[in-house]
Amino acid sequence: MDISDWRRKIDEIDRKIVELLNQRAQAAYEIGLVKRDAGLPIYEPEREQAVFANARDTNSGPLSHRDLLRIFERIIDIMRQIQGQVIAPANQGSGETLAETELDSKIED
């Protein structure tokens, strides 16, 4: 395979990642509704550690565990933000937002 073949493969994989991330976001939203109705907190450190352990246990490389967990940290941050919008939308302007990245200034919702 040449570089253009590899890039097409990456584009195909990226489309699958986007689909899976949106499925995960929908699940996080639904969990947010359950948490809101049950009066449960958004942040559950034990659950997050279980997610990290699951990712680490599934990882066969070439990503290092450290790099994979950094990716999952960001995913979880965004999913927690989605739940926050369900549970306490009035708090969204209170400064409790994710740290901006370089991409944030270039991407519109």
Q: For 73, what's the count of Cα atoms within 13 Å in the CB-facing half-sphere?
A: 8
101 residue type, one letter: T
46-72 per-position pLDDT tens digit: 999 999 999 999 999 999 999 999 999
Residue 14 has pLDDT above 50, yes or no: yes
> In this model, does residue 103 exceed pLDDT 70?
no
Q: In whole angstroms, how far apart are CA 91 and each of 36, 88, 105?
A: 14, 6, 22
Cα angle value 99/10/52 (rounded, 5°):
45
Task: Report the alpha-carbon angle 104-69-61, nearest 5.
Answer: 115
Contact of 56 with 2, CB cutoff 8 Å: no
Q: What percent of the chain has pLDDT over 90?
A: 78
The architecture (CATH level 2) of 12-87 comes to Up-down Bundle (1.20)
Separation CA 48–CA 53 (nearest Å): 9
Q: Does pTM top 0.85 for this prediction?
A: no
